[in-house]
Structure 1
Amino acid sequence: MRVLVGLSNLTGDDKYQKRAEETVRYYFNHYQDKKRPVDLGGHRFVDLKTLQPEGPSEKEQVHELKNAYPWYELMFAVDKPATVRFIHGFWNAHVYDWKVLETSRHGQYGKTPGK
């Protein structure tokens, strides 16, 4: 996304930024629910043939908090409420014990919020 926006800044052609925004919007509309982050990360991806979220079975399709850095500024510009849901789901997936803030880089999808 950063490269696409950078290309728009470099060339003066906004088509690249619009594509980045369309991509973020598509992910929010098709791969997010209220209890989890968007299906992306080190162990999650979207199969381009089926358009379904996939991941290696040996990794239990967890959300990996490693090498994936969401561009929150762009996400907020595209859809603020969806970005807030993403952040809540992201934290909820990775915080295993809210009393002591025990976290793991392997987030669990579908956890009850705050649990």
Structure 2
Amino acid sequence: MQKQKINSSDFAERMGAYSHGYKIDVGDSVLIFTTGQIAMDKAGNVLHPGDAGKQAEFIFESLQKILNEVDASLDDVVKPQFLLPTWMILPKYHQYATNISKTPSPFQL
């Protein structure tokens, strides 16, 4: 098994042992794990306060940048996990998320 840290220069400078993700080669397959993302620019400022749709868009773009580092895309995602602060923003999140995946799958981003 081989592990490769994923670090993109598109984000704020990393602190400590933090990595944006890991690519793990397990023989005939590769697993990719990414860290949680928030709508924050390189300077640490919150982006689009109060607009869950715009924040979701920024977060998905951030995830795509991380995946690009290891020649993957959002279409390769098997199991997403999202933590939303309140169920009330779920419709805005889904409004954006349902339009990004081109590949049918057993889950919805």
- Tell me whether the two structures share a fold, i.e. TM-score over 0.5: no
Normalising by structure 2, what TM-score?
A: 0.31
- In terms of fraction of residues, the more helix-rich structure is 1
Instruction: Identify the structure with bigger relative contact order (alpha carbons < 8 Å, sequence gap 6+).
Output: 1
Question: Larger C-alpha radius of gyration, 1 or 2?
Answer: 1
| TM-score (norm: length of structure 1) | 0.30
